Amino acid sequence: MIPISWFLIFSAALFCIGLFGVLARKNTIGMLMGVELMLNAVNINLLAFWAYRYAGQMNGLVFVAIVFAAAAAEAAVGLALIISVYRRRTTVMADELNLMKG
């Protein structure tokens, strides 16, 4: 049987890679991809704790379902924002979106 620690370390690594993408990428769509990786890492964690500790309860599964819904909403609104910005500024690079700079 696989120890829970393997899943936890795997998801920690995935979360950190996604966080690096969010912090370092120039392209806003690349940043959104990093967010998706982070949300996936969170889901692995939730399901790992559910499977090893609380399989009789529904709390963990409901939480995973809500994270799925939030991720879908986030991707839809985020990409719509990016396309809207691209239409006005013809760029999606985060460092060129300085319209509100003081």
Partner 1 sequence: MITGLQAFFLVNALITLFAAVKVVSSRKLVHAALWLVLALMGVAATFAMLGSRFFSVIQVFVYIGAIATLIIVAVMLTRNSMEDVGPQVNRGWWLPLVVVVLLFVGLVVVLSGWGDFGLSTRTVGAEGENVMELGKALVDPNGFVLPFEIASALLLGAMVAAIYLATDRKEGKR
Query: Which residues between 32 and 91 bind partner 1 (CB under 8 A)?
Result: 32-34, 36-37, 40, 43-44, 47-48, 50-56, 58, 61-62, 64-66, 68-77, 79-84, 86-87, 90-91
Q: Residue 90: left (phi > 0), alpha (psi -120 to 50), or beta? A: left
Q: What is the DSSP string of 37-72?
A: HHHHHHHHHHHHHHHHH-TT-SHHHHHHHHHHHHHH
CB of 99 to partner 1, least distance (A): 16
- If the CB atoms of residues 23 and 99 are measured against partner 1, the closer one turns out to be 23
With H, G, I as helix, E, B as strand and everything else as coil, classify residue 49: helix
- If the CB atoms of residues 52 and 102 are measured against partner 1, the closer one turns out to be 52
CB of 42 to partner 1, least distance (A): 11
- If the CB atoms of residues 23 and 100 are measured against partner 1, the closer one turns out to be 23
Is 43 buried (19+), middle (13-18) or exposed (0-12) by CB count in 10 A?
middle
Using rule CB under 8 A, residue 102 touches partner 1 = no
